[in-house]
Amino acid sequence: MNIAEKRGGLRGWLDRRYQLSPLLEFLQHKEVPLGSHWMGWYYLGGVTMFFFIVQVVTGVLLLMYYQPGEATAYESIRFLTTKVPFGWLIRSVHSWSAHLMIISLVLHMFSTMMLKAYRPPREITWVSGFFLFLLTMGFGFSGYLLPWNKLAYFATTVGTNIVRSIPLLGDWLLQVLRGGQDVTINTLYRFFAAHVVILPLGFVAVIALHILLIQRQGMAPPLGAKVAPRGMKFFPSFALRDLLLWLACLMILAALAVFLPYGPGIPGMDWELGQKADPLAPAYPGIKPEWYFLWEYQLLKEFPPHLFGLEGPQVCLFVIGILFAIWAVIPWLDRRAYRDRSSPAFSDLAWAALLFLTYLTLMGWDIGANGAIEGVAAMEKVARVCAWWTLAAGLLIALVRYLRYNHRWFLFSGAALFQAVLHGLLGVSYLLAGTVSLGLAILGIAILNFTGSSPDKRRAN
């Protein structure tokens, strides 16, 4: 007979039925490892979850007024934001929190990548996190259409059109996605169902697994230390720190929602309601997706209409698919981290991915176009300006990594920068520049392996 059976009160009552003691015991002794890296990275997952909780709460409040329908979707949002007390606040917080959630999720993902927290036994945590990332993109895309305004309508038309490029299934998938040939009110119903039922169900299931795994296995200790040298009690020390940060996030969220109710005024991060969607109106030039889809949008533009006997967008989707697949199985690709050794190549790969995304996103934003968005000259100018920015950022990052963190492995990030230079500054086509850079990186790795200058011998992250 254990102690719990003797205990009285509510806790004893619950304990006798559900055997909570072992669980509480576990939680009481759970520790967060403290190591060589900044502890702040451990909070990013929690912050992302906080924004998700805000999304659920504000989403439910929006749902109380939102009425999907041809004559009601736009009108109900308009009514909510202009007439309902605090309606404007709910919508503003929901939109801000969505963008901040994506930012913190991406930061969380990249910090996990840099710290190699995906190494065994945490591979499934990484994969589940990757699926959460995809689901979040889905939330963003489906939620965008719901106000049924002009901008959302055309962005959705352009966005769903990409699906058509999928071989064999493309046309069928497009029909499934749109609920017909074109974006109509049927599309809105589908997106609404996806946004408030299908995606949340999936998200809750995956996030439950993600959190369960983290709680069960604990947070990843620093690389090379099987047992953390020092630890911090999860309850209450870490949890209270989490709470502190969440409160700070809430504060920032409230201030942003009041002072910038329609976003920071950056294209792709703007949710002013504007005019109601009109399927008969002509699409206007300069339709851009949300900022987190800009890199895909730009990559699609960089592909020629036909390549290797396939349509350009098909090849592009194929390339994006491969990149995503590589990203998803990184825990199994990174053999060095698998053996709990430093793997500078994969740290550099993460930086290369960031630079790759930065260059495409900046171009998608028409940085440097000064208003002119059409024409070859304008595109070349944009590519040039963006290449300079990417190069400056990349060199600065490399310098800091070299001096501050003693990094010596720069083949992937170097290749990403080289591609930007070839394409933006020397006018080589984007795909050719990418192929050349990738080829050079592979050649470099081959030479490194051949000469045996293994990064093992050097101190790296």
Cα separation, 287 vs 89, whole angstroms: 27
* Min separation Cβ 244 and another protein, Å: 5
Cα separation, 433 vs 159, whole angstroms: 26
* Min separation Cβ 328 and another protein, Å: 37
* Min separation Cβ 22 and another protein, Å: 24
* Min separation Cβ 117 and another protein, Å: 25
Cα separation, 406 vs 224, whole angstroms: 17
Give per-residue burial for 138-166: e unless 16+ CB within 10 Å, then b: bbbbbbbbbbbbbbbbbbbbbbbebbbbb
Cα separation, 256 vs 460, whole angstroms: 40
Beta carbon nearer to another protein, 80 or 113:
80
Beta carbon nearer to another protein, 85 or 282:
85
* Min separation Cβ 366 and another protein, Å: 22
Site residues (vs another protein, CB under 8 A): 81-83, 88-89, 92, 236-237, 240-241, 243-244, 247-248, 250-251, 254-255, 258, 261-262
Rg (CA), the chain: 24
Beta carbon nearer to another protein, 74 or 412:
74
- Closest by CA to 342, choosing from 223, 227, 457, is 223
Within 10 angstroms of residue 21's Cβ, the number of other Cβ atoms is 17
Q: Which two tokens stand for residue 97?
A: 């929190």
Dihedrals phi, psi of 34, to nearest 5 degrees? -110, 135
* Min separation Cβ 247 and another protein, Å: 5
Q: Which strand (E) or helix (H) includes residue 87? A: helix 87-115
Within 10 angstroms of residue 352's Cβ, the number of other Cβ atoms is 23
CA 57 to chain centre: 21
Beta carbon nearer to another protein, 255 or 395:
255
Beta carbon nearer to another protein, 83 or 216:
83
Beta carbon nearer to another protein, 180 or 263:
263
